[in-house]
Amino acid sequence: MLDYDQAISFLGDWGPFQLLIFFSLSASTIPNGFNGMSVVFLAATPEHQCLVPASANLSAAWRNVSIPWEQHEGQRLLSKCRRYRLDTLSAFSAGGLEPGQHGNVSSIEQEKCLDGWTYSQELYLSTIITEWDIVCENDWKGPLTTSLFFVGVLVGSFISGQLSDRFGRKKVLFITMAVQTGFSIVQVFSTSWEMFAILFLIVGMGQIPNYVAAFILGSEILSKSARIIFSTLGTCVFYAIGYMLLPLFAYFIRDWRTLLLALAVPGLFCIPLWWIIPESPQWLISQGRFEEAESIIRNAAKMNHITPPAIIFKTAELEDLKNSQQKRHTILDLVKTRNVRIITILTILVWFVTAIGYFGVSLNTPNLHGDPFLNCFLLAAIEVPSCVLTWLLLRNVARRYSVSSTMMLGGIVLLLIQLVPLDLHIVSTVLVMVGKFGITAAFNMVFVYTAELYPTVIRNMGVGVGSMSSRVGSIISPYIVYLGAYDRILPYILMGSLTVVMGILVLLFPETVGRPLPETIDQTQNIKGYVIKHYSLRQCSVFMAWILAQWTSIFSLFVE
């Protein structure tokens, strides 16, 4: 059996080579933070009302009452999608009648916004919503735009995982980076919503797959101790930095085309990284390219001013590994054997639920009370201490307990939001931040945990399938956010209950702390059974009854 970590231990943990790889790959994830949540501002919906054209020949008094009032969540607001019939108002105005003389204005027949809308420019000069009137009967295009982006991520995750395992981590990293940056620039010149949406789907194909490729590449190049720091304080923190810079860009650039261009250009600065970042030696070994792998390791030793041993990999170990890897591996290998099959099923579930929670909370930013730029910054900034917590837990606590506890924290806090009175906006916002804190920590650890569960020969496919299932969750998340139009707590009940249930199911995973990364499928850990069997039937029944009550309350809202 080849123990790769032991074989390269002479390199040390933190030399010039490791630091160069750490910061180069971490920096490559900053554009992912830009693009991942840019739709929050690109597709923001400002306050709007029906346009009343000057040709309507209305007096100032009739023009002021041309928009009817409506009740929404206990508040009296001007309608966004209806107006009083202009021909009727024009007739009253031409006859010299004033609104008070006519009687009750609300008795006048209403009509749709036949002449378009007027949009408030208090927050945004333009968005794709204002440019192509994606409101009222067309408001379904808003969440669909976001979902199409995540459909692209889904397709990209599916393809890139297999390509990475077959053609190499480095090639896929830079191809997906080019797709994300190049098509974002082309997207600036969109002439219709349809064109924007199709290009957004293609951009999505390079977004998270780029992050996953960087994560896998760093995990396989760096040593065991450096790997955990890279996975938490590296890629996660740098992604959060990009996420935090997003509202800063959006605050100073209020036009969506200029903003999108400003967010796309930084990706071009990643081009020189091609000559800095090497291919994964572990992947090269899994492909039987032992000389190339050894060359990279010897160059790393030279950079670290270390004299490598005469023989880095024992011939007998390499031959055994080569004989066990004669056949090419496909995505079917994720379900062929019992252990890998169960790991794959649990991986799909946990990635799906964490994505719903993470993206649901993040995309719900415009619906939070207060300034959207500040709220977005806070939701991004909370990811930094969440990454620190992830690092501490991964260093000191078993994986399954770490993921389970953070998911339970996030889910329970989101469920508590329904108990907060409507006027206590700050309390609700704080709970949302704490919920995002827990879910983000779980999401970060899921990357590390999944990579440790799968063997090298199918590791990127395993993480890719997990990422792919999370994209299904992210595709659904805009519509969960959209349910907030019916009731503000509805999205939090859905996200909270799903996260809590998954927090319990995570305990079914095998533990990976202190174990070497498996190289072959035969080395995959055994699944020994349900580790939650010591919980009493009564405890489980009470908990499930509570979750059922939450979902019952959701359906009752629709019935009413």
Q: Are 359 and 477 a contacting pair, CB within 8 Å?
A: yes
Question: In this predicted model, what pLDDT tens digit does every residue of 330-387 receive, in sequence order?
Answer: 667 777 777 778 888 888 888 888 888 888 777 776 666 778 888 888 888 888 888 8
Q: Which of 364, 496, 369, 498 is nearest to 421 (CA)?
A: 369
- The pLDDT score that the predictor gives to residue 191 is 92
Averaged over 198-222, what is the pLDDT? 84
Rounded-to-integer distance, Cα 379 and Cα 393, Å:
21
Q: How many Cβ atoms are within 10 Å of 70's Cβ, its own excluded?
A: 13
Residue pair 50/113 in contact by the 8 Å Cβ criterion: yes
Q: Which long-range contacts (CB under 8 A, 24 or more apart) does 88-92 make?
A: 89/56, 89/58, 89/62, 90/56, 90/57, 90/58, 92/62
Each residue of 280-304: pLDDT tens digit? 888 887 777 878 888 888 888 888 8
Going by their DSSP bridges, the two strands 75-78 and 69-72 should be labelled as antiparallel
Q: What is the DSSP letter of 230?
A: I
Q: What is the pLDDT of residue 314?
A: 64
pLDDT of residue 253: 93
Report the percent of the chain where pLDDT is more than 70. 83
Q: How far apart are CA 177 and CA 271, in angstroms?
A: 9
In angstroms, the first-to-last Cα distance of the chain is: 63
Given this model, what pLDDT does residue 532 score? 40
Work out the mean pLDDT of the chain and round it to a whole number.
Answer: 79
Domains, the chain, in order of start with CATH, read 16-44+138-287+315-559 (1.20.1250.20), 48-119 (no CATH)
The one-letter amino acid code at 331 reads: I
> What's the pLDDT band for 448 if we cut at 50, 70, 90?
confident
**Count of CB atoms within 10 A of residue 556's CB?**
9
**Distance from C-alpha of 387 to C-alpha of 375, rounded to nearest angstrom:** 19
Reduced to 3 states (helix: H, G, I; strand: E, B; else coil), residue 72 is: strand
Judged by average pLDDT, the poorest of 52-66, 190-204, 219-233, 542-556 is: 542-556
Whether 188 contacts 494, CB under 8 Å? no
Q: Cβ–Cβ contacts within 10 Å for residue 314, how many?
A: 11
Lowest model confidence (mean pLDDT) among 58-67, 278-287, 483-492, 540-549: 540-549
Q: How confident is the model at residue 525 (pLDDT cuts 50, 70, 90)?
A: low
Helix, coil or strand: residue 125: coil
Q: Where are the alpha helices (DSSP H) in 307-382?
A: 315-324, 338-363, 372-381
Rounded Cα–Cα distance for residues 387 and 395 (Å): 12
pLDDT mean over 304-328: 65
Token code pair at residue 94: 């031409």
Structure tokens at 1: 């059996």
Residue type (1 letter), 363? L
Q: pLDDT-derived band of residue 524, with 50, 70 and 90 as boundaries?
A: low
> Contact 202/282 with Cβ under 8 angstroms?
no
Q: Residue 401: CB partners within 8 Å, gap ≥ 6?
A: 507
Is 153's pLDDT higher than 70? yes
Indicate whether 193 pLDDT > 90: yes
Residue 492 has pLDDT above 70, yes or no: yes
Between CA 7 and CA 224 the distance in angstroms is: 12
What global pTM score does this model have?
A: 0.76
What is the rounded distance in angstroms from the CA atom of residue 134 to the CA atom of residue 482?
A: 14
Give dist(CA 383, CA 388) in Å, integer.
Answer: 9
Could you tell me the pLDDT band of residue 328, with boundaries at 50, 70 and 90?
A: low
* Average pLDDT score over residue span 250-273: 91
Residues in CB range of 16: below 8 A, 6 or more apart = 303, 304, 305
Q: Which amino acid is at 342?
A: I
Examine the pLDDT at 402 and tell me if it is beyond 70. yes
